[in-house]
A = this chain, B = another copy of it.
Amino acid sequence: MAAQGKGPGGKQPTINDVAALAGVSKKTVSRVINRSEFLTEKTRRAVEQAIEQLGFVPNPQARALAFRRNFLIALLHDNPNAQTVLNFQQGVLDAIKDSDLALLVRPVDRGSDKMLDDVRVFLEKQRPIGAMLLPPISENDDLAALCENLGVRYVRVGSALLDDARHCVSSNDREVVAEAVRGLIARGHRRIGFVRGPAGFRSAAEREKGFMEALAEAGLELPDAYHARGNYRYASGVEAGEALLALASPPTAIFCSNDEMAAGVMGIAHGKGIAVPGQLSIIGFDDSPTATHIWPALTTVRWPIREMGSRAARTLVPDFLGFGAKVASDESPVLPSILVERQSVAAAPADT
């Protein structure tokens, strides 16, 4: 622990105190703080020692003023899934832990027509260095354009590449879903239902594509009756479950576009006395806490949300995170999701 040295008057020491102690100008101290090149090793050490001795911490407000930019990155989200947001946050914090940056969180209201203005005011006021857009608002091109105009860097997080790679972090929803569904087919399932996410969500579209892809490969069709449209909420899963399981020839497996809806379907199955996974296999998506809190535990897709948070931060502000944080140019902005197999999938019942 550094000595809690205070400048004259018991206040926080300033750059001037450091300069005086080290016998250099404040500009030189500033150079040390900002890791400027063009510094003698000797000078640097003298300054660093003075900083250490005084316990000097640069005042972010002053820097923000001089830089015309706050040392902040903003997280803009409108995500119904709290765990996702928080995990992502955690990933971002992992990345910025040892930097000067702090994280500003800003939920936005996707529905509101003032949304864009709200965000504009927010960005103009706070002047963060950059902003991270979580899905679904990451899919809004106007928002990205706004950042661009305001000179705020941005990164869009999504289920698929939404933009130029330097503005993107994504997972590979389509491929993993296809893989999961192939697994169902391999276990003998032929009557496979699908619960889609809400219209207008890229993630919903990607997951659907993956599902269709796997079905097509196996030469299977998706009857209209097997195609339920949900909105990522539990209640819509309940509705979908009621519809699909009331059919004369119900599916033996259902892929749900997220875990909440999967939980809804499973609840209905329990209510109808349909055994999961004996008579009905269910797969979800997200690996949210719900996935393990329901019984039987849900086979689902886990996207590496925390890693995506770190990556997003590193993509956004590589130059602020110190050496080693840079994203190598050959790193793909696509972080792979994985299928987590638990207890909600079994082979198709024989009597079909």
Which residues of chain A have a CB within 8 Å of any CB of chain B? 1, 12, 57, 59-62, 64-65, 70, 82-83, 85-87, 89-90, 93, 100, 102-107, 117, 121-122, 124-127, 234, 260, 263-264, 266-267, 270-271, 289-290, 292-295, 297
> A293 vs B93: C-alpha distance in the bound complex, in angstroms?
29
Residue in A1, A93, A102 with the greatest tally of chain B CB atoms within 10 Å:
A102
Chain B residues with CB below 8 A from A107, complex form = 89-90, 93
Closest to A237 in B: B293
In contact, A292 and B61 (Cβ under 8 angstroms):
no
Kindly provide the distance from the CB of A266 to the nearest chain B CB, expressed in whole angstroms: 7
Chain B residues with CB below 8 A from A105, complex form = 89, 103-105
Closest to A84 in B: B82
Kindly provide the distance from the CB of A309 to the nearest chain B CB, expressed in whole angstroms: 12
Also in contact, A117 and B1, with CB within 8 A (given A64-B61, A260-B289): yes
> A289 vs B292: C-alpha distance in the bound complex, in angstroms?
13
In contact, B57 and A125 (Cβ under 8 angstroms):
yes
7 tightest Cβ-Cβ pairs between the two chains A and B: A267-B295, A82-B86, A263-B293, A61-B64, A82-B82, A82-B83, A61-B65
Kindly provide the distance from the CB of A296 to the nearest chain B CB, expressed in whole angstroms: 8
Closest to A83 in B: B82
Q: Provide a sorted-by-A list of 20 A–B residue pairs whose CB atoms are within 8 angstroms.
A: A57-B124, A57-B125, A60-B125, A61-B61, A61-B65, A61-B127, A64-B64, A65-B65, A82-B83, A82-B85, A85-B86, A89-B107, A102-B104, A105-B105, A234-B293, A263-B295, A264-B293, A267-B293, A267-B294, A293-B293
